[in-house]
Amino acid sequence: MKVTKLPYNPGPAAWNAILPPDRGHPELNSHEITDWLIIGAGFAGLSAARRIQLNRPADRITILDAQRLAEGAAGRNSGFMIDLPHDLVSKDYGGGIHEDRKKIKQNRLAINIAKKMVYDLGVPKEAFQEVGKVNAAATATGIQHNLNYKTHLTHLKENFELYDAQQMKELTGTEYYLGGLFTPGTVMLQPALYIRELGNKLISKKLKIHENSPVISLIHKGRDWHAQTPKGSIITQKIIMATNGHAENFGLFKRRLIHLFTYGSMTQALTAKESTILGGKAHWGLTSADPLGTTIRKISTTSGDRIVIRNRVTYEPRMHPAPATLKRIYAKHTASFYLRFPNLKDVQMAFNWGGQLAFSLNNVPAFGETEKGLFAACCQNGLGTVNGTLQGAAAADYAMGINSKLADALCLADPPKKLLPEPITRIAANLRIRFGEFKAGAEL
Ligand SMILES: Cc1cc2nc3c(=O)[nH]c(=O)nc-3n(C[C@H](O)[C@H](O)[C@H](O)COP(=O)(O)OP(=O)(O)OC[C@H]3O[C@@H](n4cnc5c(N)ncnc54)[C@H](O)[C@@H]3O)c2cc1C
C-alpha cells in the first residue's frame, strides 16, 4: 500500500514551543530489520511500545513518526485525561449507566497505565498532574446540563462538587461562569512534555525512535512487512499502526473514519501585573458544560502564566483545513478570550493552531489485526489521551498473544460503520457541527 497523504498540522504545537529545545531522535537513513515496527509516536504508539518493552525485553522495537515527537495531535491537545464518561457527541457527556461504568473502568485503567509509565520512567511530574477539572457553565442551559450530569454521577456513585458563581470567580478570576461541577479524577497533562519525555525515556539498546521518518509505503511480502521511508526502510513481521485517522492514508478503514479538526490558542506569558489583575488560582482546567463549548486552562510556566483555549470543530475529509477557516477560527478564539477576560485586553495570543481528530459513526475504535501481522490501534473518537493509551496497550497485548481482557473488550467492539457517500456525509457533519455550536451559545 502506498501512503496517500502525510500529516498536516496548521500552526505551531504551542505546548512544545514553550518547552526548551529537545535533543530529538534521528531520521531513519538506513535499512533495518526489527521485531516490532510501531508507526506513530502519539499516545497509542508510545503506550504500545512500553507494553512490548516490558513483556518482550529481548525484542527490537522501532518507532517511526512522520513528524517530530509532540508536533502531532498528541502534543497539540488540551491535555484533559478524563476518567469519567465524556462522550463528545452526546448532549451531556453521559450514556447509559452500565455503559458508563464500563467506560469509567477503561478510562481509569488508561490513566493508571500512563501513571505507571510516568513514575517508572521518571517523566517530570509537571507533565502529569492529578488535579481534577471543572465542567464550567456560562448559561442557564449549561447549569442545567451540569445538574443532569450531577444526577448521572450520583447514580454512578462518583464524587463531585458543585461550584457557584463566586467559587468559579475565585478559581478562575473571571465572572463569566455561573457555576461549575468539579470532578477529581481527571489528570491534566502538559501534553508535549508527556509525549517528548516518554519518548526520550523509552529509548534503550533495543528500542529506537526515528522522527521526521514518514512511512510512505507498506508492502506485505511472504511473512514480512516492508516499510519504506524517504531515506530508509524497515523489515518486520509485526506492525502496530498507531496513526489515528491517518490509518486511512494507508488504505485502512476506508470511508469509515470521520476526519475532524479542532483548534487551540495560547496567550503570551502574562506579566506579573496581568496575573494580579486576573487573580484566581495558579492553575485550573475547565471543560464546557456543553460538549461543543470552549475548553480553557490556566497554566503556570517559567516565563509566566498563560491561558489556553480550545473550541470549534470542522469537518476535513482531506485532512487539510483552508487558510480562511483558520483565520476565522483564530479570530473567534481571541473573541472568546476577551469575553471571558475583559480586563486583559492588552494580552495577545502567542500561538494559534489546529490538530486532527478521528471519529467513527458508531463511536468505536478502529482496532484489531487488519492483515496478518498488522495491528491497528486507531480512531480515538476525540479522546486520545485515554483511548489512545488504552488502545496502544491492548493492540500490543493482542499482537504478543497475551491473554488480555482489555484486548478482548476492544476486539468485541463493532467495527467503525461505513460512512454515507459524499456529499451526504459532509452535509450531515457540517449541519451537526453548526447546529451544535449554535446551541452551545455563550458556552462557546
Ligand atoms: C486542539 C486539540 C485539543 C484536544 N484536546 C484533547 C483533550 O483534552 N483530551 C483528549 O483526550 N484528547 C484531546 N484531543 C485529541 C487527542 O489529541 C487525539 O485523540 C490523540 O492525539 C490521538 O492519539 P493517537 O496516539 O491515537 O494519535 P496521534 O496523537 O495523532 O499520533 C499519531 C502519530 O502518527 C504519525 N503518523 C501519521 N502518519 C504517519 C506516517 N505515514 N508515517 C509515520 N508516522 C505517521 C503522526 O505524525 C502522529 O504523530 C485534542 C486534539 C486537538 C487537536
Q: In ligand 1, which atom is closest to the CA atom of 79?
A: 8
Tell me the pTM.
0.97
Averaged pLDDT, groups of 10, the chain, 444 residues long: 95 97 96 98 98 98 98 98 80 75 94 98 97 97 94 94 98 98 98 98 98 98 97 98 98 98 98 97 96 95 95 98 98 97 96 98 96 98 97 97 90 94 97 93 93
pLDDT given at position 369: 97
Q: Which of 16, 78, 186 to mutate to test the pocket of ligand 1 (most atoms within 8 A of CB)?
A: 78
Q: Find cell 465572572 and name the residue.
A: 175
pLDDT given at position 1: 85
Q: Outline where DSSP puts E strands in 141-276.
A: 161-164, 179-183, 187-189, 207-210, 217-221, 224-228, 233-236, 238-241, 258-267
Ligand 1 centre distance from Cα of residue 159 (Å): 30
pLDDT given at position 98: 87
Q: What Å distances lie between residue 326 and 264, 355, 371, CA to CA?
A: 10, 11, 38
Cβ-proximal residues to 237 (8 Å cutoff; 6+ apart), any chain:
35, 223, 224, 225, 373
Residue nearest to atom 19 of ligand 1 (CA): 384
Q: Is the CB of 310 under 6 A from ligand 1?
A: yes
Overall number of domains in the chain:
1
Q: Is the CB of 10 under 6 A from ligand 1?
A: no
Q: Is the CB of 199 under 6 A from ligand 1?
A: no
Residue 160 lies in a domain: yes
Residue 4 lies in a domain: no
Structural domain boundaries enclosing 190: 14-443
Residue 1 lies in a domain: no
Q: Is the CB of 191 under 6 A from ligand 1?
A: no
Residue 184 lies in a domain: yes
SS3 of 253-285: CCCCCEEEEEEEEEECCCCHHHHHHHCCCCCEE
The CATH number that applies at residue 24 is 3.50.50.60
pLDDT given at position 135: 97
Residue 152 lies in a domain: yes
pLDDT given at position 409: 87
pLDDT given at position 92: 58
Would you tell me the crossing angle of helices 191-202 and 43-55 to the nearest 10 degrees? 30
pLDDT given at position 89: 58
